[in-house]
């Protein structure tokens, strides 16, 4: 029988609209009108993109919406096969030269190949305005089938593949988010509502192994909730490595982030993983809120090790994976920052549908209308 902890690994979402009805905020009132929301959203978007490029040494580039199914470039998000991309056949030339394509779920692997295509050397990187479709999510207040991310990637040296370099990069991203929050609260004073305190100036950094040790009997999302009630903005290291209970903190694909390399905690204890997530406490929804997943990317050694651990060594026959084995792509660090997730937080919204336009089931739209949440259509 599948344990509660194992079920908690099987993807995001709350699970039912009956449960969601008990969790949406009572007496909700948006601080900005839909028109004001769009003005604030695009002001914040421009500022974040400019600041990310400045802080991380990035250049904005174009990014694909669709990729060749045979390339191995699409992001499968996890390693249990539960989230598959939308695929379609392009008949092209009366099926003489067809292409089987997929809508991207994220640009995680494409970005690393793109570093070489754009001749990015160590210290240089790219930033994209990525749009994707993830059809296997449960659609709730902060999960949508339509995904928009700032997907970014930066070339690094072998000497920079350290926990210290990862931490420095995470802090730079947090500075961008804090700067944008300050700007929005000054430009749109309604956002400085005393019910919703500003984000902390600094993140708390903690290893997934220590989070489990603190709350060994709780599933992952409940562990994160307890942690965020004590520290309202955190970065959790090492997501993907099997922990002391035999399960990873969360399933993470085996072929982009390096979650298996041995590291050392600040106080000298052995740990694993050169990746992690930024999570915050959302004062509107009163729930955990993930903003970004990121990490130092696999080498050919850690790629093979992680594919073996996940039972996916057959992936080594795909072009993307062969390129890593042949040292044809740069060593890199990268991540994806959820745009709608970030705007939902900074603009004090209760639902993703207030900051992005996509499809929602009627059951969810009816529920939102009942709780005074205006979902865009």
Question: CA–CA separation, 339 vs 107, rounded Å?
Answer: 14
Question: CA–CA separation, 175 vs 11, rounded Å?
Answer: 29
Report whether 291 contacts 346 (CB < 8 A).
no
Q: Which of 51, 134, 297, 341 is catalytic?
A: 134
**Residue 277: active-site member:** yes
Q: Which of 49, 51, 75, 252 is catalytic?
A: 75
**What's the order of all strands across the beta sheet hosting 146-155?**
58-60, 125-133, 146-155, 332-338, 287-296, 275-282, 233-237, 204-207
3-state SS assignment for residue 128 = strand
Q: Which of 144, 149, 260, 339 is catalytic?
A: 149
Question: CA–CA separation, 262 vs 339, rounded Å?
Answer: 31
The beta strands (E) that lie in 145-232 are given as 146-155, 204-207
**Residue 105: active-site member:** no
Dihedral angle, C-alpha 61, 67, 70, 75, nearest 10 °: 80
Beta-carbon neighbour count of residue 186 at 10 Å?
A: 10
Report whether 280 contacts 345 (CB < 8 A).
yes
Q: Which of 49, 142, 277, 354 is catalytic?
A: 277
Question: CA–CA separation, 11 vs 3, rounded Å?
Answer: 15
Q: Which of 222, 290, 312, 322 is catalytic?
A: 290
Question: CA–CA separation, 376 vs 354, rounded Å?
Answer: 6
Q: Which of 144, 293, 332, 340 is catalytic?
A: 293
Dihedral angle, C-alpha 157, 333, 103, 374, nearest 10 °: -160
Q: How far is CA 204 from the centre of its chain?
A: 18
Output the CA torsion sign for 174, 163, 233, 135.
positive
C-alpha atoms less than 13 angstroms from C-alpha of 227 in its C-beta half-sphere: 30
Question: CA–CA separation, 322 vs 316, rounded Å?
Answer: 6
Show which residues are catalytic: 75, 134, 149, 277, 290, 293
């Amino acid at each position: 029988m599948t344990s509660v902890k194992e079920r908690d690994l099987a993807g995001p979402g709350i699970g039912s609209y009956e449960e969601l009805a008990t969790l949406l905020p009572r007496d909700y009132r948006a601080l900005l009108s839909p028109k004001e929301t769009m003005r604030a959203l695009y002001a914040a978007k421009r500022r974040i993109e400019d600041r990310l490029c400045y802080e991380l040494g990035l250049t904005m580039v174009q990014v694909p919406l669709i990729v060749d199914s045979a390339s191995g470039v699409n992001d499968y998000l996890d390693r249990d096969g539960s989230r598959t991309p939308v695929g379609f056949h392009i008949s092209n030339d009366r099926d003489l030269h067809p292409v089987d394509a997929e809508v991207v779920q994220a640009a995680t692997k494409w970005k690393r190949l793109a570093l070489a295509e754009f001749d990015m050397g160590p210290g240089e990187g790219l930033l994209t305005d990525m749009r994707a479709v993830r059809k296997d999510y449960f659609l709730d207040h902060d999960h949508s089938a339509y995904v928009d991310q700032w997907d970014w990637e930066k070339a690094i040296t072998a000497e920079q593949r350290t926990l210290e370099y990862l931490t420095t990069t995470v802090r730079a991203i947090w500075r961008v988010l804090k700067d944008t929050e300050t700007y929005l609260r000054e430009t749109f004073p309604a956002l400085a509502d005393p019910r919703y305190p500003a984000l902390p100036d600094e993140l708390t950094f903690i290893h997934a192994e220590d989070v489990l040790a603190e709350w060994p009997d709780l599933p992952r999302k409940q562990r994160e909730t307890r942690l965020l009630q004590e520290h309202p903005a955190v970065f959790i290291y090492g997501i993907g490595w099997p922990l002391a209970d035999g399960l990873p903190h969360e399933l993470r694909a085996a072929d982009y982030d390096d979650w298996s390399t041995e590291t050392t905690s600040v106080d000298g204890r052995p740990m694993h993983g050169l990746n992690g997530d930024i999570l915050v406490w959302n004062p509107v929804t009163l729930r955990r809120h993930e903003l970004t997943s990121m990490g130092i990317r696999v080498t050919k050694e850690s790629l093979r090790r992680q594919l073996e651990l996940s039972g996916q060594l057959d992936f080594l026959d795909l072009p993307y994976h062969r390129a890593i084995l042949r040292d044809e792509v740069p060593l890199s660090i990268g991540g994806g920052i959820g745009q709608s997730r970030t705007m939902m937080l900074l603009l004090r919204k209760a639902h993703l549908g207030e900051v992005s336009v996509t499809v929602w089931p009627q059951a969810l739209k009816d529920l939102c209308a009942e709780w005074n949440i205006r979902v865009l259509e």
